[in-house]
Structure 1
Amino acid sequence: MRPTRATALLTAGLVTLLGAPAGAAAAAGAPADLYVNNQDGSNCSDTGAGTQAVPYCTISAAAKVVAPGQTVRIRPGRMYDEAVTITRSGEPNKPIGFVADAQPNANAYVQLANGRALTVSGASHVVLNKLITRSGLQIKGSSDVVLDQVYSRNGSLDSLAIGEGSSDVRVSRASLIGVRVDGGSRNTVFSRNQISGTFGPAIAAVDAPGTVITNNTLTGHCAATVSVTGGSTASGLYNNVLITGGDPGNCPVPDARNAVLVSKSAAAGTLADYNAVGADPKLYPAPYSWSGVTYKDVKAFQAATGQGAHDVSAESADKVSGYEGSLSVDSADATAPGVLLTDFSGKAMVDDPLVPNTGKNGGYLDRGATELQDGLTRVSMTVGPNHAPVGTEVEVEALSDSHWPTTMTYEVDFGDGSAPVVTRQGSAELASAKHTYGKPGDYVVKVTAVNGIGTKVSSQIPTKVTPVGPGTAVLTATQALPPAGDTEAHLPPLTYAFDASASVTPWPVARMEVDFGEGWYKRYEGTTTVQHTYERPGDYKATVKLVDTMGGTATTTRTVRVDYAPSGYVAVTPYRVQDTRTWGGFLKGGEPTVVAMPLDLKTGNSTAGGMSAVVLNVTLTEATQDTHLSVSPTREDRPATSNVNVRKGGTTSNTVTVPVDEHGWVWMRLNAGQAAMIVDFVGYYQPNAGEKFSPVAPTRLADTRTAGGALAGGSTRTVKVAGVNGIPVDAKAVAVNLTSTAATSDTYVIAYPDPAKRPVASNLNPEPGKDKSNQAVLPVGPNGTITLYNNAGSTHLIVDAVGYYGGDGSKALFTPAAPRRLADTRTTGKLAPGATTTVSGLPAGAIGAVLNLTATETTGAGYLTAYGFGSARPDASSLNTLPGLTVPNHVMTPVGDGKVSVFNSWGGSNHVITDLLGYFTQG
């Protein structure tokens, strides 16, 4: 049969569309491509020229200016929220194109948002490629239009409508639901499409002469699968797979359920052949309706009409679809009008050796939209042994999943520069090749399998060739840190990863034995990276012993220096994690008590799951005798340090910074007697999270004695802390020293960020006749403020800043320390009034320190001030001393040359005890 004009136009149109790859140079004198890109960072503008550097933001902007011979390249990714109407035309051999830009994903499609239709109206010589619309595609009064690899969904309506006298529209490799060609449209060609009807035909041609439907897979529901009616004369149906499916009882209106329906008015010159019909004859007893007459089967149809001479039918879709052994395989007419020799997925026609070639003239084109392929997708391989000394013979075995009995070629490249070994055998036979390596090294063995039609698949396996002789063990130890932004994993501090993969053993390692140097010994199969959490910082000798499959051993030992990792600070609104009074409990002297920290606390992009240390406010009350509390990260150690000192019957609190153990716990040990304990969670330090710190010399932010008056019971006071006195406006948290004086009753004070959300917590416990101080670390609230609340009576409050987190200038990360004593004047002599002592022992690179400063055996009321060694002493206090009382305070201070100065006021002499809780270094 001679090709129709529509067939010739289809072929020409697809060459125009697909012949030049994306990015190919334009022909001399051809206009430059236009670009559309609505992705973030694309620098797009609808008022520009649509270049690749400054693309259009919308497809519509390009559609308004595209000229003959130009291609609009549209970047896939984000949906285009626009209805697109194309009215401009190309010229013969100079179409205008709208295609998905091949970069960065050659298989990506351009998508229009729901409710946004695509229309070609009154245009000619237009190509559309790899476009998706969910609200329908319309071709109106247009000619020479190519739709290739378009996807369209439009609910229960036709997803593609071709009408208003359109001509020479070619639709190929498309996925559609419901297509209608009407309004006198001529010479429409459908080839290699997958189309399903909803409550209408898959394809309905009404008054559309010359409609050609070739090599499509079409599924009908509640109507004829293909309907050719009205004046749709001289049409053609060839090589299609026609499936009639669905339950007739679910269709809203009873209608013809034929696979093919050609009305009497459309039968003149209309031809059908080489179609495959799949329908259950019990549900759909009349697969054909031709010129007003229905036929119960293919034979009756052929005998009465002379059409469908090579049509076949089966009772199910599987037997006519493109599966191995189906009626469609190797049985089509490769010369039919509109034929494409590549299928829906772009694969070429191939000859299935398991099926006789029953196509026209002995051809092997498949019917329907797809072409059955060999199925060769992978080659499996083994290398044995893939770890052995030089001189060992290595054998490679390979087997492919090809299911056609063609001769397979296997090429084995051993990766050492030697010539590949090539073998040939049947697809189900195992290929084998042997080789002996001449020198040690890490090689990659690659197998490439090629079937009889040229399809290639490859696989590869790394292979280690080792020197002859004893092995060498290598062990590395690196600190394991929580990944930045990790919101799930709990990773304890002092966790280290041990890796022996760089070891070289003649034969594969059968087991690895690791002694971590603190009494832990573990055995593992093979060589693997393992983690171990140490209980405390220190130097440990870790040993690894490797035993290979032949019994050979290799051992090495290395010293691992274990310490806490520098960390950022995550501030939270303070909240209570324990109050022994709620259950009538108390701490007993000498008995360690655990307090669990909230590991699942989510703050922004991080959690406390990887925290290394916590900041707490700890309060003791109802003490049965004078005593003190020590806080530490371990149960067994009895610290020589102290954190909170309380008198019999009194109430006192102090801020505590302390590392956590591997469970996220901290341990409390009361020295003697009994006391109730309240613990408020203030924040935490975590590697790869939080904010950096900037220490400042104590700077006064507020003093109610000079402004505002005493804070009455039940009232609040807002204090500006960010954007003042050197603290940047964008600081995320502040560290302040709170001091109470002239209190009229026992009370408590809360410092918190949001004035509308007062937490259940406390920071300071003022008492009449006593100046008391405590440090607070808290987030910055609205407009750079914090809020102070006094519970009862009245008290004056003084607020001194000692540092800030985040914001401009923040620079230091915090390294926690297991609490240890730096200095104690009880061994060197009291600090006289007006005297200064120097505390050393801090790392040379420290720019700030977190200390617990304690004054005891005080002879007169006064204060202590801690500040960086070598810098000017500030006019502020770090703690207030009282005669006869032991007073501790959490102190954050700058450091100079690894030292801190502590000044004693002129109120009386003091013994001063300085405990280190951690230090800050340049981040």
Structure 2
Amino acid sequence: MNNEGTSNCTDTGAGSQAVPFCTISAAAKIVKPGQTVRIKTWGHYDENVVIDRSGEPGKPITFTADTEDFSSAAYLEFGRSLTISGASHVAVRGLHSYGGVDVRRSTDVELDRVYVSNGASAGLVIGEGSVGVRAVRSRLLGVRVEGGARGTVLSRNQLDIGFERGVDVIDAPETAVTNNTLVSGCGTTISVRGAASSGSAVFNNVLFTWPTDCASAEPRKGIEVAASATAGTRADYNLITGPELKSTPYTWGGTGYQTPAAFAAATGQGAHDILAPDYSKVGAKDGSPTIDSGDPTAPGVLPTDTYGRPTADDPRVANTGKDGGYIDRGAFETQDVLKGVTLSIDPAWAPAGTTVKATAVPDGRWPTGLTYHYDFGDGTAPVVTKATTAEHVYSSPCACVAKVTAVNGVGEKVSSFDQPAKVTAPGPLTTAFTVTPLLPTSSDPFTRRAPLTVSVDTDDTAAPWPVTSTDVDFGDGTQGHIDNLGDLEHTYKMPGTYDVTVTMQDAKGAKSTAKRSVKVDYTPSGYVATEPFRLLDTRTTNTPVQGGTATLVTLPAGPAVPGHRLSGGMAVAVLNVTVTGATEDTHLSVWPSGQPRPVTSNVNIKAGGTSSNTVTVPIGAYGTVSAQLNSGRAALIVDFVGYYQPNVGQRFSPVTPTRVVDTRTTGGALGGGQTRTVKVAGVNGIPADATAVALNLTGTGATEQAHVIAYPDPAKRPTTSNLNVEPGKDKSNQAIVPVGPNGTITLFTNSGSTHLVVDAVGYYGKDGNALFTPVVPKRLADTRTTGKVAPGATTTVSGLPANAIGAALNVTATESIAPGFLTVHAFGTPRTSASSLNTLPGLTVPNHVMTPVADGKVSVFNSWGGSNHVITDLLGYFTQS
């Protein structure tokens, strides 16, 4: 029966599984001998249940909630009771009654795993001539057996007693109170009284006397048998404990006894009783005097305890029970609780044909008396033994998994974790290894992984015996060591081809060496646009950069900069580098730390001036880049713009330089403190979903020295800068700017006014074409060795990879004789009116240039203003890899 809302129940049907009864009472009215009423566990039933129908011998009527313990049951609501009246051959299992249980005028009734938590005068009442009632493995709140009830058995129950008398037997002959655990607070814990209660038995019980405030002044007593009930009544093998032992443990025939010895001497009862002063050591725990000390022949003894566990012999404890018996006293039987078992294989790595030894270590109460089933994982039959070791010979190589299962004397079993057994082919130790790049993954893009990091994997080594030493010479002057066969990670400081040598030694002393040439290079990467932020300003730290001394600039991975979480796996940084307040004419180089300073430069500066440039640079050792002045001293300002990283970010699509805005013809000059929003995505061939754009910014007609910022969100202007403008000079700088709301960017200048010319040279997005591969800064061309580029002439720069479709260059104009500009475009393609940098007489002007590439070449056009020397440095290139 089942009264859940989805059960489709009814009390007018036949009570099938498909259409169950809604109430227990409905089933009780029609159940027949031999039938079972199955009650939905966890169900709550607001009804008083009366069972008055009978089964037959061998065909009982059964009501069961299908539960094996008190963790689940069927519940009669508060105040609702169960009554068995005038019935016979009835069994009730797994029912929780909040209103008590009464058994009247009934025969052969079993109450099993019943939980009674309330009642009018006692939780369970058995009376009115009932015969053969058994309350077993239950949790009860006081029991009264009365009214001529005969042959009642109370066994393996827990009794939380809330009445003046816990188990009260009144005029009920042959009542057996056996193997119960009773907690009493007031009055008498077990009482046998009345003229008709002769022939009763009180055995194997554990009585806890507990301090509490009692309504009655009646003295506390443990076991009390009235004079009218002593005939044929027996009591033995009980244990009394608790803080209230100052009460009277025994009263027999009206006389009290304070010790088992006095009780036994006067009555012949309780000779094997125990009075245990320390109650904390009593119970189902190691060292308890209840273990293996009961009488297995006592009336009403059950073969299982309150949880259904069988009687078990603790091999660590002497059997002090009757005739060497080992039943425990109380409701609980101490078991060999197997927590686990571990397995070791020795040797766990050996060639086929070697004898290996398996050792099991159990984790349980009883380490003896276990049976072990050793499964060596090669398809052979398990070895079954009581020994904690077993030997085995593997006949052929395998990556086998061994396991052991331990079984105790009551059938509980537990298995070990899988234990690998590496069975190899006989033969010599032969070193083999592979070297692969270790890259961040798209699933965990913030994993700290420095560029040029590799893994040396030795798992392909033919090793018949365990490898005890692996030494790696990485070919760059560094070595690595591990004490086994495995992987070693290493980060190279710069790309190159290295001779990697691996030497191994095994457990038998054999050695083997292998060597191979490994090319280490940067990996093509996508671009991650970030909101720009200031990374370094030596003006605030009073630590100017010095000529001839490298300054380390740390790239902050993780949450080091609030609001700007950066990946620990970034390989290339895009920075805006500004040099100001130089003490002399000089230039600045930026390169990956740990590598030699290149001959290239990034920023050229006149004494007292301010100059800036975008720098794309691989990240060097320890997550840093180096910056160094050629000479003199100056302040250095570094703004973080974005980064490239393998397996993440957006691809780049270079475009023919396209003018986005020219304030000389549209909108007028940008005034100091003013902003102007410019559409950059969704126009001029740049898709609307582009995430960042590469722009060339040119300032002209500035009225005073100022700086210009290009940024994505008009509401969040950063403290960085992109371009420094001066009166009378046209100045350019390239910027990579994240796209803001509605495909726009915002321009700002801090003072004066200036015209701005903005040319788009490419974009990043999910539909981009190419990934970026950085290089150690490399000089591609220098016309100072071949002659100046004449006005209106074009010079071709080669040396780029043939598969490159774009490049990041640092282009420098020097020894200019007149104002003008340079335009960089793909070789063999028409140039446009857009400029890449502006030339100024007497000044050396660099600019970061991103440009399309064709056939591994780019063209540099010099305007008609005057001749120039042009220096072209390669920072990296884009490919459709």
Structure 1 counterpart of 2:222, one-letter code: V
Structure 1 counterpart of 2:633, one-letter code: Q
Corresponding position: 1:625 with 2:584: yes
Give the SS at the match of 2:694: strand
Corresponding position: 1:300 with 2:224: yes
Structure 1 counterpart of 2:338, one-letter code: L
Q: Which of 351, 357, 362 lines up with 2:312 in the alignment?
A: 351
Q: Which of 864, 869, 875 lines up with 1:911 in the alignment?
A: 869
Give the SS at the match of 1:611: coil
Q: CA deviation at 1:843?
A: 3.3
Please show how residues 576-591 of structure 1 align to structure 2 within 5 Å: 576-591=534-549
Structure 2 counterpart of 1:241, one-letter code: Q
Structure 1 counterpart of 2:358, one-letter code: V
Structure 2 counterpart of 1:314, one-letter code: T
In 1: Cα distance, 2:508 partner to 2:67 partner: 62
Instruction: Mark the CA change 1:66 to 1:409 in structure 2 (over 3 Å): closer, same or farther.
Output: closer
Structure 1 counterpart of 2:634, one-letter code: A
Report how many aligned residue pairs link the two structures: 776
Instruction: Mark the CA change 1:621 to 1:272 in structure 2 (over 3 Å): closer, same or farther.
Output: same
Q: Deviations over 1:114-153 (max 9, x none)?
A: xxxxx99999889655x7xxxxx95434878949699999
The aligned residue for residue 883 of structure 1 is: 841
Instruction: Mark the CA change 1:387 to 1:121 in structure 2 (over 3 Å): closer, same or farther.
Output: closer
Q: Deviations over 1:69-108 (max 9, x none)?
A: xxxxxxxxxxxxxxxxxx999962416799xxxxxxxxxx
Q: CA deviation at 1:643?
A: 0.7
Task: Tell me the percent identity.
Answer: 48
The aligned residue for residue 645 of structure 2 is: 686
In 1: Cα distance, 2:789 partner to 2:694 partner: 27
Structure 1 counterpart of 2:698, one-letter code: T
Q: CA deviation at 1:168?
A: 9.3
In 2: Cα distance, 1:849 partner to 1:917 partner: 8
Q: CA deviation at 1:407?
A: 4.7
The aligned residue for residue 77 of structure 2 is: 162
The aligned residue for residue 532 of structure 2 is: 574
In 2: Cα distance, 1:289 partner to 1:621 partner: 88
Q: CA deviation at 1:764?
A: 0.6
Q: CA deviation at 1:463?
A: 3.2
User: Which runs of no fewer than 5 residues in structure 1 stay unpaired?
Assistant: 1-12, 18-61, 69-86, 99-118, 132-136, 154-158, 196-201, 219-225, 245-255
Q: CA deviation at 1:351?
A: 2.9
Structure 2 counterpart of 1:94, one-letter code: Q
Q: CA deviation at 1:536?
A: 0.3
Give the SS at the match of 1:582: helix
Instruction: Mark the CA change 1:322 to 1:128 in structure 2 (over 3 Å): closer, same or farther.
Output: farther
The aligned residue for residue 532 of structure 1 is: 490
Corresponding position: 1:819 with 2:753: no
Are the equivalent residues in 1 in contact too, given 2:291–2:326 (CA < 8 A)? no
Give the SS at the match of 2:725: coil
In 2: Cα distance, 1:467 partner to 1:635 partner: 45
Structure 2 counterpart of 1:299, one-letter code: I
Corresponding position: 1:240 with 2:163: no
The aligned residue for residue 702 of structure 1 is: 661
Q: Deviations over 1:740-783 (max 9, x none)?
A: 12111110112223333322211110111222121222333344
Q: Deviations over 1:620-671 (max 9, x none)?
A: 1112222211100135512111111112221110111111222111101111
Q: CA deviation at 1:294?
A: 5.7
Q: Deviations over 1:777-817 (max 9, x none)?
A: 233334443322211100112333333334x4135433322
Q: Deviations over 1:306-338 (max 9, x none)?
A: 99978754337755543346577687999999x
Are the equivalent residues in 2 in contact too, given 1:829–1:911 (CA < 8 A)? yes
Q: CA deviation at 1:712?
A: 0.7
Q: Which of 332, 345, 350 lines up with 1:383 in the alignment?
A: 345
Are the equivalent residues in 1 in contact too, given 2:178–2:299 (CA < 8 A)? no
Are the equivalent residues in 1 in contact too, given 2:183–2:209 (CA < 8 A)? no
Please show how residues 528-677 of structure 1 align to structure 2 within 5 Å: 528-601=486-559, 607-635=566-594, 637-677=596-636
Give the SS at the match of 1:300: strand
Q: CA deviation at 1:584?
A: 3.6
Are the equivalent residues in 2 in contact too, given 1:735–1:776 (CA < 8 A)? yes
Greater alpha carbon shift after TM alignment, 142-151 vs 591-600: 142-151
Instruction: Mark the CA change 1:291 to 1:471 in structure 2 (over 3 Å): closer, same or farther.
Output: same
Instruction: Mark the CA change 1:287 to 1:690 in structure 2 (over 3 Å): closer, same or farther.
Output: same
Greater alpha carbon shift after TM alignment, 267-276 vs 865-874: 267-276
The aligned residue for residue 277 of structure 1 is: 182
Give the SS at the match of 1:663: helix
Q: CA deviation at 1:548?
A: 2.0
Greater alpha carbon shift after TM alignment, 664-673 vs 836-845: 836-845
Are the equivalent residues in 2 in contact too, given 1:822–1:841 (CA < 8 A)? yes
RMSD: 5.1
In 2: Cα distance, 1:151 partner to 1:847 partner: 74
Structure 1 counterpart of 2:180, one-letter code: N
Give the SS at the match of 1:915: strand
Instruction: Mark the CA change 1:493 to 1:365 in structure 2 (over 3 Å): closer, same or farther.
Output: same
TM-score, normalised via structure 1 length: 0.71
In 2: Cα distance, 1:350 partner to 1:268 partner: 28
Please show how residues 308-387 of structure 1 align to structure 2 within 5 Å: 313-315=240-242, 319=281, 321-324=283-286, 326=288, 349=310, 351-354=312-315, 372-387=334-349
Q: Which of 735, 738, 749 lines up with 1:779 in the alignment?
A: 738
In 1: Cα distance, 2:658 partner to 2:136 partner: 85
The aligned residue for residue 841 of structure 1 is: 799
Are the equivalent residues in 1 in contact too, given 2:591–2:626 (CA < 8 A)? yes
Structure 2 counterpart of 1:530, one-letter code: L
The aligned residue for residue 269 of structure 2 is: none
Q: CA deviation at 1:391?
A: 4.6
Are the equivalent residues in 1 in contact too, given 2:183–2:210 (CA < 8 A)? no
Corresponding position: 1:754 with 2:671: no
Instruction: Mark the CA change 1:432 to 1:763 in structure 2 (over 3 Å): closer, same or farther.
Output: same
In 1: Cα distance, 2:610 partner to 2:707 partner: 10
User: Which runs of no fewer than 5 residues in structure 2 stay unpaired?
Assistant: 28-36, 50-62, 85-90, 126-133, 188-206, 243-277
Corresponding position: 1:140 with 2:46: yes
Give the SS at the match of 1:581: helix
Are the equivalent residues in 2 in contact too, given 1:390–1:468 (CA < 8 A)? yes
Are the equivalent residues in 2 in contact too, given 1:857–1:885 (CA < 8 A)? yes
In 2: Cα distance, 1:633 partner to 1:821 partner: 16
Q: Which of 7, 11, 15 lines up with 1:92 in the alignment?
A: 15
Please show how residues 87-236 of structure 1 align to structure 2 within 5 Å: 92-94=15-17, 139-141=45-47, 146=65, 162-163=77-78, 165=80, 181-182=98-99, 203-206=117-120, 215=137, 226=141
Instruction: Mark the CA change 1:778 to 1:478 in structure 2 (over 3 Å): closer, same or farther.
Output: same
Q: Which of 813, 816, 824 lines up with 1:858 in the alignment?
A: 816
Instruction: Mark the CA change 1:525 to 1:669 in structure 2 (over 3 Å): closer, same or farther.
Output: same
Structure 2 counterpart of 1:92, one-letter code: G
In 2: Cα distance, 1:858 partner to 1:726 partner: 34
Greater alpha carbon shift after TM alignment, 878-887 vs 378-387: 378-387
Q: CA deviation at 1:481?
A: 2.4
Greater alpha carbon shift after TM alignment, 483-492 vs 208-217: 208-217
In 1: Cα distance, 2:711 partner to 2:40 partner: 62
In 2: Cα distance, 1:210 partner to 1:833 partner: 114
Instruction: Mark the CA change 1:393 to 1:405 in structure 2 (over 3 Å): closer, same or farther.
Output: closer
Greater alpha carbon shift after TM alignment, 137-146 vs 773-782: 137-146
Structure 1 counterpart of 2:544, one-letter code: F
Are the equivalent residues in 2 in contact too, given 1:703–1:797 (CA < 8 A)? yes
Are the equivalent residues in 1 in contact too, given 2:113–2:136 (CA < 8 A)? yes
In 1: Cα distance, 2:45 partner to 2:225 partner: 34
Structure 1 counterpart of 2:182, one-letter code: V
Instruction: Mark the CA change 1:342 to 1:296 in structure 2 (over 3 Å): closer, same or farther.
Output: closer
The aligned residue for residue 80 of structure 1 is: none
In 1: Cα distance, 2:702 partner to 2:228 partner: 112
TM-score, normalised via structure 2 length: 0.74
Instruction: Mark the CA change 1:304 to 1:809 in structure 2 (over 3 Å): closer, same or farther.
Output: farther
Q: Deviations over 1:244-279 (max 9, x none)?
A: 9xxxxxxxxxxx697x768999x9999975421357
